[in-house]
Amino acid sequence: MAVCLCLHSNHEFMLLVVNNLQKDLKSTNHMEVALALQAISKLVNRDLIPAVIAPVGDCLTHRQSIIRKKAVMVLQKFFAIDPEGSAIYIDKAQRLLMDKDPAVIGAALHIVYDLCVLDPAKYRVLVPSLVSILKQITEHRLPRDFDYHRIPAPWIQIKLLQILGVLGAMDRAASEGMYEILGEVLKRADIGINVGFAIVYECVRTITKIYPDHPLLGEAAKCVSRFITSENHNLKYLGINALAAIVQVDPKYAVEHQLVVIDCLEDSDETLRRKTIDLLYKMTTPQNVVIIVDKMVASLKATIDIFFRKDLVQRITSLAERFAPDAYWYVDIMGVVFDTAGDLVQMSVSLLLLYCADSFRSRTIS
């Protein structure tokens, strides 16, 4: 423990520690094994891995669940440092998804997530198992020790949702096996407490990553509406983020929340205003461009933050060029932008506006 606190992993003294670590990993006293695993997780480096990976791998089948859990965590560290050298043991760790102790399963999920990010296609066969685990959790089949504020194993749920989001991306068959459980998670987690909000948010993110299911997207949008209308700034921020993800899949789900989102531009929280600008930019269409640009212009007049002003000018000019209902409206809006923040407008926009103004002048004279 002293070495963990005082020395770094590449210190020359580590060579003298290896023998003790190997001996402790084979001890019959599970406390000594646990301390050895704890030390390895802090001190491991690429040169140390070959000397200890075999006894660490043997700990995956230890009779004590705390040892299995710590062994999985150490192997994840090995995988991060040397993916090729630890591959055989990582496959063994993956099998601990079927462990009888939920804590061990929770640790194994982190390795599974790393593997899925590297090669989603290879691990899509795990979708039924992951869905089964998530279903067992939501149905309160785990011991009550894993409940947090009446929510069963929330952090395990969140990690499972993250993995499903990776595996379901761009794959219809894998996604269809998730739809039912994702809808169930949304319903059961939405009970008005913070940890429930965290699960709902992660579930919405997963729904937007996998192959789209419109009924499920509709349910996700309803949950997000409660975030946006909340008085809590943190929940509003999450709601804006979640709605932005939904809009990227299908903008129609943001239409009913348009006025609520626009109101967020007047919030005192600067970070929330910036996120709102990003969302409004994504959800703008030819039908709502006038009201959204008007609100952006009002924000431009009200703020003195130079960075926020630059962002607003860029978004306003881009939306005006893409969705202007007619040239007169474009010239009118850009005239206000020049009057309010002309020094922040790009030269190309200035030339375009001059061209439009000359065209109008020519038509008037003729």
Instruction: Enumerate the β-bridge partners of residue 152.
Output: 147
**Fold entry, domain 1-86:** Leucine-rich Repeat Variant (1.25.10)
For residue 70, count other CB atoms closer than 10 A to its CB. Answer: 24
Q: What is the pTM of this model?
A: 0.85
Contacts of 192 (CB under 8 A, 6+ apart): none
CB-facing half-sphere around the CA of 314: CA atoms within 13 A: 9
d(CA 189, CA 57): 36
What one-letter code names the amino acid at 358? D
Does residue 204 contact residue 224 with C-beta atoms inside 8 Å?
A: yes
Closest CA to 49 of 30, 21, 69: 21
d(CA 124, CA 169): 10
Domain ranges in the chain are: 1-86, 284-366
Q: What one-character DSSP code corresponds to residue 153?
A: S
- Biggest CA–CA distance in the chain, Å, is 99
Tokens encoding 119: 């090669």
Per-residue pLDDT of the chain (366 residues; tens, 9 = 90+): 787 778 777 777 777 788 888 899 999 999 999 999 998 988 888 888 888 889 999 999 999 999 999 999 999 999 888 887 777 787 787 888 889 999 999 999 999 999 899 889 989 999 999 999 999 999 999 999 999 988 999 999 999 999 999 999 989 999 999 999 999 999 999 888 899 999 999 999 999 999 999 999 989 988 888 888 888 888 999 999 999 899 888 888 777 778 888 888 777 888 888 888 888 888 888 888 998 899 899 888 888 888 888 888 889 988 988 898 887 888 888 888 888 887 877 766 665 565 555 555 555 444
